[in-house]
Amino acid sequence: MSGRNAPRSRTGCATCRTRKIKCDEMHPSCVRCVNAQMQCEWIHKTPRKASRSKPPLKASGGPGLQRTYYPLRPRNIDAGVHLTYLSLPNSHFLASSEREYFAFFPHTSMVRWLGKPWQWASLHYVYSHIAPRSSVVTRMILAISATELEGIRHLQRLRSDQKASHDQWPGEAGTSHYQSALREFQLMLSKNHGSLSPQEVDEISTAFFLMVTYEYLFGQDSAAMEVHIQGIYTFLKAHDLVPRLGESGQCVRLPILTQQLLLFVMYANLTICKYGHLRQLWEEAGHESSFVSTMDELFYNSRTSQHAIWPVEYPTEASLDDISVFRPLELTNECKKLKYRLLLMPQSTRGKFEWDTMDCLEQDLCGIGKRYQDLIIMSQQPRSDLRNRQLQTIYFAVAEYHATTVFFCYRWSLLNCMSTPSVSSRDAVNGALEIIKKLSTESPSCLGRVYWPMIVLAGCMEDSQDRQWIRKTLVESQHTIVFPSMRGWLNDMSGLNL
């Protein structure tokens, strides 16, 4: 529960207590005050009490810092990775460890999971063109890289020395940069009240995106991520950057980089589900255009974004790569749109209107299956090379489709619809399970891309050895592929209560 309906904060900042909203108690400025562009005032500080049953580890990066860290295990990186350094205008202000963190960013999980080869990736543009002139973006890159790289080193110590298991989880390096970024971001937003240049919009949107990503990967729950998502939605509304309903050229006011980053944020928005309910943060921010139509237009606009971001240098080979993964990415986008509509459905029978709506969703789901039948067949081939980026993208997309089908059948059963759905939950379960097992065997680092299908199977499969294997995998890797924002899904659907 958040916003005005949340319990009043008793130990938070004075600003949040006055506004009667939940405060995350981050010092010196809480996330809600940063995003609301308000002064964060503290009257007194009350230390948080650690959980008795499972005490978390706390960072010690500075006085008053109350950031909680759970032992998030890092993803593996390729052996022999060489860290290449980028020349920054303010590089003489960075310590040697910070320069190493910055150089590690191209090898982080978030970069690999977004899939685009680094040389022409949007995040490469952020890294090479925006970070050098933005201390906020630089700090967020350092926060993400430091948390993951120090986590990798911590895991290596655990493997080599059992005594290291008692060491504190090294979260303070990332937290320090995150806190610095929040303070600087608050100052930046307080100065930007008038019209903004495309470069300024890109910088602010990039900062929001990286903060959403940081909380998605390393936050202790989804609350702060939700605040950052609200922040970028409100920012776009306040500056009238997304046109009103019915206006032609839906997203033309947004710079192309911001369009792509906003699409990723909207995808992340779909992971915040509590008790089967998805908060409509986009609509709450006052946008008249629908979430689904905006997400759809952003997707198609972003298909040509690299040409706009790299107008002169972008080579033919990179364009061919974009074309080769277009249909799998389109299938993923179609599934996310349908998932959003499913999440808005009630979880109990209310009458003919809900049944008719489910019938429409069923027709759309069947239509998706027919349009992308070639990709579904390709994913069933026995000897596919998972090192191939195009095949990986197909696997991820088809797993998303199967999971959406299973989730549809699950919601259908909750509504007690009068007929049996024409789509087969059993076939979808088997299809998703085959992909997950193949990834687990041949490319376990890719399991993070199919976390939602795994959660759906854990909750909806009939009890069997396969279901127990899925649940066991989720429990064992809860800090690797099940991120804090996903725990609401996992607890609601499977009862694992991680």
Q: What is the pLDDT of residues 251-291, one digit of tens each?
A: 567 899 999 999 999 999 998 876 567 888 999 999 988 99
The gap from C-alpha 406 to its chain's centroid, in whole angstroms, comes to: 22
Nearest residue to 120 via CA among 363, 293, 312: 312
3-state helix, strand, coil split of the chain in percent (to 5) is 65, 0, 35
Q: How far apart are CA 97 and CA 274, in angstroms?
A: 39
| Polymer length in residues for the chain | 498
Helix H or strand E segment including 58: strand 57-58
Quote the pTM value: 0.78
Q: What is the pLDDT of residues 47-68, one digit of tens each?
A: 444 443 433 333 333 333 333 3
Structure tokens at 199: 């470069």
Rounded to an integer, the average pLDDT of 391-411 is 93
Residues 175 and 148 sit within 8 Å (Cβ to Cβ): no
| Number of neighbouring beta carbons within 10 Å of residue 373 | 10
Rounded to an integer, the average pLDDT of 344-367 is 81
Residue 321 pLDDT > 60: yes
Q: What is the pLDDT of residues 203-217, one digit of tens each?
A: 999 999 999 999 988
Residue 330's pLDDT is 98
Residue that the structure tokens 């199977």 belong to:
457
Rounded to an integer, the average pLDDT of 462-488 is 69
Rounded to an integer, the average pLDDT of 171-194 is 88
Helix H or strand E segment including 343: helix 326-343
DSSP 127: I
